A = this chain, B = another copy of it.
Amino acid sequence: MLQSKLFTKMEKTPPRDEESLNAKLLVQAGFVQKLMAGVYTFLPLGLRVLNKIENIVREEMNNAGAIEMLMPGLQPKENWEATKRWDTFDALLKTKSKFGGEYAMGPTHEEVVYPLLKKHLASYRDFPVAVYQIQTKFRDEKRAKSGLLRGREFRMKDCYSYHASDEERDKYYDVMKNSYMNIFKRLELNAVPTNAGGGTFSELSMEFQVLCAAGEDVIYLCENCNVAVNKELSGDLAAKCPKCKDLTNEKKSIEVGNIFPLKETFAKNFNLVFKDNTGKEKLVSAGCYGLGTSRVMGAIAEVKNDDFGLIWPKSVAPYDIHLVYLKSNDRNVMAEAEKFYRKCLEADAGILFDDRDDVSAGSKFAESDLIGIPLRVVISDRTLEKESAEIKKRNEKNAGLVKLDDLDSYISKDS
């Protein structure tokens, strides 16, 4: 991408109408733009990050045998009455047709996926089935001041698994847990598996929590074992690690995912039943696996930054390489920059090329740090004198010179 063609303008200072660090950084650097509290447009750079996060999630869901589909946001009131959540689901955003119908704007999809599967699940032979979607969700939030961490509209992956027995479901729960560990590893995000069971559903309930002072959750973390217990769950009881029994530390954190057994709860509401191998009718046992993809983007921004801007992990960076050309009267400077740019494009490498002629070197460097692409490559009069380019990793202090002939080794195929 030529930066001269990128219409979004970066701001010199963080936006004044944002409280959260993630929104300050993401808005200032031109990744997202606020439409109103809790509702953001993903600008071109931001959409690239979101897509990369969602593709990682998609790959791991597919690897776990889950099948993707896409359910509607608009959901009939009757389905929410069937689960008795129309009046009790706290943040349910409702809408009314002028022709009479009332609808929920889906904050979750049990009310859609259960009735949908009634048509497809009949016999024990039909199990297990795991379906997921990556989709836009809505919540009627009172306060929405945390940027991408708590949106009125947000992106989410939700997966639902269906089983002929609780044992089969518990086995799949482990598959999903493993899948989540893979996802967060690839996102380079330390999301601590946190016991959150004992609530409405079950003791297997688990959250993935990213340590962060801006988080709304509080967990008891064991730093030896990298596991935790949600404070809400267990009060003072959890001052000891469930694994090594050492003392834990109270930490603020962001919940980026959760997995828990729904058991037969919603199956009862929708009479989702099947015939077991003796011909007996049984309720379907289910599990539910959520992951907020836009919240993950907010969480990464919140924890991966320094005084100069964002520091994206390579796996979700909008581009792998930020090529910065510094204005010169020597045409060779632009020619060398363009040559490297074309090579990257040919190799399908993700590259943003700051080809602008009307921006000072200082501003270019400041913007590059703000955007936070993992590798910066500068080509200028000064580097060309030494037949080199300057290379600097965003997460390292020092820059170095690399011979132009050796630059190719920095090109890798875009993830």
Query: Using a CB–CB distance below 8 Å, which chain A residues touch chain B?
Result: 5-9, 33, 35-36, 39-44, 46-47, 50, 65, 67-76, 93-99, 101, 105, 112, 115-117, 119-121, 126, 129, 131, 136, 138, 140, 142, 152-153
Contacts and interface: CB of A to CB of B under 8 A. Distances in A.
Nearest to A6: B67
Which of A5, A40, A95: most chain B CB closer than 10 A?
Answer: A95
How many copies are assembled?
Answer: 2
Closest 10 CB pairs of A and B: A95-B95, A42-B70, A7-B129, A74-B153, A39-B72, A41-B71, A9-B120, A36-B76, A44-B67, A72-B153
A42 B69 contact: yes
A35 B75 CA distance: 8
7 contacts: A7-B126, A47-B69, A73-B73, A73-B136, A93-B95, A93-B97, A95-B95
Contact of A43 (B8, B9, B69, B101): B69
Of listed A9, A68, A72, A120, residue having the most chain B CB within 10 A: A72
B33 A47 contact: no
A47 B68 contact: yes
Contacts of A94: 95-96
Contacts of A117: 7
Given A44-B69, A47-B68, A105 B95 contact: yes
Does more than half of chain A's interface fall in helix, strand or loop, or is it mixed?
mixed
Contacts of A46: 69
A46 to B, nearest CB: 8
Nearest to A135: B136
Contacts of A7: 67, 117, 120-121, 126, 129, 131
A45 to B, nearest CB: 9
A306 to B, nearest CB: 25
A41 B126 contact: no
A323 B250 CA distance: 56
A72 B96 CA distance: 19
Contact of A105 (B5, B35, B105): B105
Contacts of A93: 95, 97
Given A33-B119, A93-B95, A41 B72 contact: yes
A76 B8 contact: no
Contacts of A42: 69-70
A358 to B, nearest CB: 8
